[in-house]
Copies of this chain bind each other. A is one copy, B any other.
Amino acid sequence: MDSFAIGVDLGATTVKSGIVDRTGNVLEQVTVDTKAAEGPATVIRQILRTTTELLSRHGKEKCAGLGIGSPGVVNLDSDTVSYPPNFAGWADVKLATAIAREYSFPVRVENDANAAALAEANYGAGKDHRDFLFVIWGTGIGGGVILDKKIFHGASGGAGEIGHVTIDYNGPDCNCGNRGCVESYIGQHYLSGRTKDLLRRMPKNSPPSKILQLVEGDLEKIEPFIISRAAEQGDATARQILKEAGALLGVALASALNILDLNIAVIGGGISAAPQFVFEAISDSIRSRVLEAHRPNVKVLRATLGNKAGIIGAASLVL
């Protein structure tokens, strides 16, 4: 009788793998370098290092299967991973097939944002909801769509690109080639820049910002988690920036909820540790913009699985 699955959270810098039981608990976790610069064969070897180690202690015969959450485009075959960013020499790789060669249990691959969405659907903030939009707000803005408790893939597996919803067609340039995407307003790069601007423009005689204390005066060290921490400590500038950013995310989410006919957004990524007022800013913005039919049911929830969502979601692909 199988009693657990392995979840692999494949990132450009580390491979995090864990033994996950049927209630979504991570019983043990190991982490190794991805060595993404050395090409697919090395990355596959690194993944197998973690799984071999875990299975040596927990027993192959009890393993229901192995799931991988991967960056890049994951084909609908749950196998092929195409062009993950920052992975050298990686075009199209049949990753599940490569790992499955070593084992007799099933192996499936899913896009990492979708895997995290599935984890929240089964064990996290989305547990009590059949349908919701999952948002990862970190360096960039990613997402996944859960419909009827399953991942909604769209036509080819790439649905849920909430970061590249336009909120102003004359807005700033975005990395994707468009302008005015919500990511170009609230991604890490913009948030840090906006914070620096505001701090530089503060009158000399105003009380010192908590943000400056946290980075010891070095503006180049400003990151979203610093802004978030300063906001927690009551810093006015930090609060203003996160409130604005939440309202802007709400603009994009209202468009997405209208198109997908959803009412609920679960927000994960680095910002999921932010103070409650950020979630309220997102929610107020959505409610003021979304179609009337959705308004009474709009909910913005904080993801609850943190950085374990990747491992848990990957495992739940086979549980």
Using a CB–CB cutoff of 8 Å, the interface residues on chain A facing chain B are: 73, 130-131, 145, 147, 153-162, 164-170, 176-179, 248, 251-252, 254-256, 258-263, 288-293
Contacts and interface: CB of A to CB of B under 8 A. Distances in A.
27 contacts: A130-B155, A131-B155, A155-B260, A155-B261, A155-B263, A156-B261, A157-B261, A158-B261, A159-B260, A159-B261, A160-B261, A161-B259, A161-B261, A161-B291, A162-B259, A165-B165, A166-B166, A166-B251, A166-B254, A166-B289, A167-B169, A178-B290, A179-B289, A255-B255, A256-B259, A259-B260, A260-B260
Given A169-B248, A178-B290, A292-B176, A153 B261 contact: yes
Contact of A159 (B157, B168, B259): B259
Contacts of A291: 158, 161, 164, 176
A256 B165 CA distance: 8
Nearest to A263: B155
Given A164-B258, A166-B289, A167-B168, 17 more contacts: A130-B155, A131-B154, A131-B155, A147-B154, A154-B262, A158-B291, A159-B259, A160-B261, A161-B259, A164-B255, A165-B255, A165-B258, A166-B167, A169-B251, A178-B290, A256-B259, A259-B260
Given A289-B166, A291-B176, A154 B255 contact: no
Nearest to A287: B177
The 8 residue pairs across chains A and B that have the minimum distance between CB atoms: A154-B261, A131-B155, A158-B261, A159-B261, A161-B258, A178-B289, A165-B255, A169-B251
A130 B154 CA distance: 11
A204 to B, nearest CB: 32
A73 B261 CA distance: 12
Contacts of A156: 261
A152 to B, nearest CB: 9
Contact of A259 (B160, B168, B254, B289): B160
Contacts of A160: 259, 261
A135 to B, nearest CB: 12
A154 B292 contact: no
A258 B155 CA distance: 11
B288 A178 contact: yes
Residue among A145, A258, A259, A262 with max Cβ neighbours from chain B (10 Å): A259
Nearest to A247: B169
Contacts of A293: 73, 158
A299 to B, nearest CB: 13
A281 to B, nearest CB: 14
A179 to B, nearest CB: 8
B155 A292 contact: no
Nearest to A155: B131
A169 B252 CA distance: 9
